[in-house]
């Protein structure tokens, strides 16, 4: 219990976003009085792709980078699986092909940014353009198919618990440990906080930086796989909103855009808040476009709140 209190004291933004998440979830439940196990299972499965993509985006930002190709990587994985399955009749090999393409995209981003020292903003924006163009070439219009088992998997319930809920819990936990309790996590924060100081202590900052983009692409690719399961088909524009949403989720979850600071727990809550906002507005019969207004307002508030708190603290010190 003391560890939890210390954690929230050190990361107040995480506590704040979980309070917001609890409020949004409560309102969503109250506005959906006819919830069933099936509807809850489907809703949870729809949130998983954004959560997965956000985990990868958070790793990049903690390492003082930015990845604008997240949505495009998710899209190319989805399109590859759907189009490949429609032609060959089996999704299994195309899942690996889709993930392989995602990893190659992440590796290219990492090499260009870490070793060639090209601006991350430009590199990942170019990667986004290339991947989205490729996705349109592979599948000009929404369509394709996936195996029956892929469609059924998001609806699977194990011992009364939806499989996607287990995935939503286990993947972050498996990610949290390497980032908090291993040398890699220490190296990531050190390189993100002060690359020169980290390098002087023997950390291979270039390798760490490159790895963040590979991990980001991997998680976005996984998001594309789950998206294929949910949709049962492919769409060359399906991942476009994900890029900005992942960055917003990271900021809402307390990840510093300046690098070196942040957790995985916060961005995950941020992703769920953004995702459930759409569901809540739909349940309240409000135009879903208002989600962008609410998300933007929360984003500004999340950025401004620490500055306001610091200003108040300084005034008290000099009072």
Over residues 89-113, mean pLDDT: 95
Which whole number is the average pLDDT over 237-253? 89
Nearest to 231 by CA among 242, 239, 241, 219: 239
Fold entry, domain 15-20+37-303? ABC transporter involved in vitamin B12 uptake, BtuC (1.10.3470)
Q: What average pLDDT does range 189-198 have in this prediction?
A: 86
Which residue in 249, 237, 235 sits closest to 278, CA to CA?
249
Torsion of CA 162, 35, 143, 106, to 10 degrees: -50
Can you spell out the DSSP letters for 51-113?
A: HHHHHHHHHHHHTT---TTHHHHHHHHHHHHHHHHHHHS-SHHHHHHHHHHHHHHHHHHHIII
**E strands, 126-226, in order:** 157-158, 161-162
- What is the DSSP annotation of 200-255? HTT--HHHHHHHHHHHHHHHHHHHHHHHHHHHSSB-TTTTTTHHHHHHHHHHHTT-
Our CA angle for 166, 281, 227, nearest 5°, is 40
What residues contact 9, with CB distance under 8 A and at least 6 apart? Answer: none
Higher pLDDT, 146 or 311: 146
pLDDT tens column, 103-148: 999 999 999 999 999 999 999 999 999 999 999 999 999 989 999 9
Average pLDDT over every residue of 27-47: 86
Domain ranges of the chain: 15-20+37-303
Per-residue pLDDT tens over the stretch 11-32: 667 788 888 889 889 988 888 8
Specify the residue for token string 């994985």.
77
């Amino acid at each position: 219990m003391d560890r939890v209190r210390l954690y929230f004291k050190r990361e107040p933004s995480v506590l704040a976003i979980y309070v917001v998440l609890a409020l949004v979830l409560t309102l969503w439940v109250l506005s959906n009085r006819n919830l069933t196990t099936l509807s809850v299972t489907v809703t949870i499965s729809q949130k998983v792709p954004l959560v997965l993509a956000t985990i990868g985006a958070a790793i990049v930002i903690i390492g003082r980078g930015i990845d604008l190709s997240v949505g495009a990587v998710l899209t190319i994985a989805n399109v590859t699986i759907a189009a490949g399955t429609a032609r060959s009749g089996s999704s299994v090999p195309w899942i690996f092909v889709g993930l392989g393409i995602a990893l190659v995209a992440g590796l290219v981003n990492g090499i260009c940014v870490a070793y060639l020292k090209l601006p991350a903003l430009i590199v990942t924006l170019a990667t986004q353009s290339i991947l989205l163009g490729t996705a349109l070439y592979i599948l000009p219009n929404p369509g394709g198919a996936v195996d029956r088992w892929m469609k059924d998997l998001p609806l699977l319930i194990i011992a009364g618990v939806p499989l996607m809920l287990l995935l939503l819990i286990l993947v972050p936990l498996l990610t949290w440990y390497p980032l908090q309790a291993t040398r890699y996590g220490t190296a990531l924060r050190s390189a993100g906080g002060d690359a020169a100081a980290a390098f002087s202590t023997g950390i291979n900052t270039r390798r760490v930086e490159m790895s963040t983009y590979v991990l980001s692409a991997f998680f976005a690719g996984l998001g594309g796989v789950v998206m294929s399961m949910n949709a049962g088909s492919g769409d060359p524009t399906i991942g476009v909103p994900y890029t900005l949403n992942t960055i917003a989720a990271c900021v809402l979850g307390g990840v510093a855009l300046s690098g070196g600071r942040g957790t995985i727990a916060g961005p995950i809550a941020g992703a769920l808040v953004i995702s459930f906002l759409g569901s809540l507005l739909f349940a309240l019969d409000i135009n879903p476009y208002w989600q962008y207004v609410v998300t933007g307002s929360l984003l500004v508030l999340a950025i401004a709140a620490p500055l306001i708190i610091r200003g108040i603290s300084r005034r008290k010190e000099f009072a």
